[in-house]
Amino acid sequence: MPNAFEPFVLRLPEGEALPLVCDSPHSGTHYPADFHAAAPATRLREGEDTHVEALWEAVPAVGGTLVAANFPRVYIDPNRMLDDLDPDLLDGQWPEPLAPGEKTRLGFGLIWRNIDAATPIYDRKLSIAEVRNRIDTYYRPYHAALAKAVEDSHWRFGAVWHLNLHSMPNNAYERLKKVSPHPLADFVLGDRDGTTCDPEFVHLIESGLRDMGYSVARNDPYKGVQLIAQIGRPAEARHSLQIEIRRPLYMDERTRERNSGFATVQRDMGRLLQKVRDYLRNQVAA
Ligand SMILES: [Zn+2]
């Protein structure tokens, strides 16, 4: 079946390129015609990191590459392993071994089972063929584009810095069934507990955000999932950091519309990217 839309948008560096690759895997808002979900569209949209690609629109201007998914993450989630699939979703036997993880148990695997505990997405089982199509038509092209950008950068500069860009609902702790002694931070940086990124770079991002007045947490409650685990290998000069933005800072979580804070956050991400650019220029020159 031909694509009704491209699976992703690829924006290349404008001017001098730097070893910076950013991706926004969850901001897609094009719902494929073969989704056939039972949950209403307004609920499906709760899975989106809506507008994240727009908050970071300055990436190409500072010399970075930006890959942004067009398809929605509730349809298929590029931030999951292919075997992280819930077998109970399927009307047949998946031909390869599956290894569903903790998030999949909650319904948030490669293909989401529910929006929240009370809201299933489907009133049917999915066929093996339709899941295959989601993988081949959306998931694999997205991963291929991101991998190419990462490898090109590493080949050219001998190093790459990857920012995996997301936003998080205000009720993140509740959704994750976690109890927290403090409210959700404005920004959550995830480096899988210090394993996917040079700490100096994490510090640069954290201090840049704090200087602009934001609260910042690390790995609480989001550590980063598949993409940064796959890309982040600091020993090989491959650095990968997840950045989560608390949604009410820039959007109305009910209507998904940008709110009055959007322009400020977008401007601040541009300022942060200028710090990243200055840092990476030094790294390249060193
Ligand atoms: Zn996300």
pLDDT in tens, 13-29: 998 999 999 999 999 99
CB 108 within 8 A of CB 46: no
Please tell me the predicted confidence (pLDDT) of residue 116.
87
25 Cα: distance to centroid of ligand 1 (angstroms): 7
Say which residues have a Cβ less than 8 Å from residue 30's Cβ, sequence separation at least 6. Answer: 4, 5, 70, 71, 72
The answer to the question of residue 194 being in a domain is yes
Mean pLDDT of 163-176: 93
Mean pLDDT of 270-278: 98
Please tell me the predicted confidence (pLDDT) of residue 108.
92
The two tokens of residue 25 are: 């895997």
Confidence of residue 227 (pLDDT cuts 50, 70, 90): very high
Q: Which of 68-77, 147-156, 174-183, 210-219 has the lowest mean pLDDT?
A: 174-183
Summarised one tens digit per residue, pLDDT across range 80-97 is 999 999 999 999 999 999
The answer to the question of residue 44 being in a domain is yes
168 Cα: distance to centroid of ligand 1 (angstroms): 7
pTM comes to 0.96
The answer to the question of residue 181 being in a domain is yes
Which helix (H) or strand (E) segment is 53 a member of?
helix 52-55
Q: How would DSSP label each residue in 181-236?
A: SSPPPSEEEESTTTTSS-HHHHHHHHHHHHHTT--EEESSS----HHHHHH-BGGG
Mean pLDDT of 40-68: 97
Closest C-alpha to 87, from 123, 48, 131, 53: 131
The two tokens of residue 242 are: 């997840």
Place of tokens 């950045």: 243
166 Cα: distance to centroid of ligand 1 (angstroms): 4
Summarised one tens digit per residue, pLDDT across range 245-260 is 999 999 999 999 999 9
CA distance 119 to 228: 29
Please tell me the predicted confidence (pLDDT) of residue 173.
92
CATH code, domain with 179: 3.40.630.40
21 Cα: distance to centroid of ligand 1 (angstroms): 16
Please tell me the predicted confidence (pLDDT) of residue 3.
62
246 Cα: distance to centroid of ligand 1 (angstroms): 11
CA distance 34 to 12: 31
The answer to the question of residue 123 being in a domain is no
165 Cα: distance to centroid of ligand 1 (angstroms): 7
The answer to the question of residue 81 being in a domain is no
Residues recorded for the chain: 286
228 Cα: distance to centroid of ligand 1 (angstroms): 12
Domain count within the chain: 1
Mean pLDDT of 97-124: 93
74 Cα: distance to centroid of ligand 1 (angstroms): 11
**Residue 105 in this model has a pLDDT that exceeds 70:** yes
Please tell me the predicted confidence (pLDDT) of residue 1.
46
pLDDT > 90 in the chain, percent: 93
**Residue 59 in this model has a pLDDT that exceeds 50:** yes
243 Cα: distance to centroid of ligand 1 (angstroms): 9
Question: Residue 176's domain spans which residues?
Answer: 8-73+149-285
52 Cα: distance to centroid of ligand 1 (angstroms): 9
The answer to the question of residue 216 being in a domain is yes
Mean pLDDT of 217-231: 95
The answer to the question of residue 1 being in a domain is no
Confidence of residue 48 (pLDDT cuts 50, 70, 90): very high
Distances from the Cα of 59 to the Cα of 96, 129, 189, angstroms: 38, 37, 18
The answer to the question of residue 158 being in a domain is yes
Per the prediction, the chain carries an average pLDDT of 96
The two tokens of residue 243 are: 């950045």
